Amino acid sequence: MKELQTKMVVQRAQRQKKIKLASANKLTRWAPIWVVIKKFGQGKRVHPSTTTHQKRNWRVNKLKIKPRRMRKQQLG
Domains held by the chain: number: 1
Reported as a pLDDT band with limits 50, 70 and 90, residue 76 is: low
Q: What is the mean pLDDT of residues 53-73?
A: 78
> If phi over 0 gives left and psi between -120 and 50 gives alpha, with beta otherwise, what is residue 41?
left
Percent of the chain residues past pLDDT 90, beyond the cut: 7
Q: What is the mean pLDDT of residues 17-45?
A: 87
Reported as a pLDDT band with limits 50, 70 and 90, residue 29 is: confident
Using the Cα atoms of residue 60, residue 63, residue 18 and residue 15 in order, give the sign of their dihedral. Answer: positive
CB of 31 within 8 A of CB of 52?
A: yes
Range of 50's domain? 2-75
> What rounded mean pLDDT belongs to the chain?
82
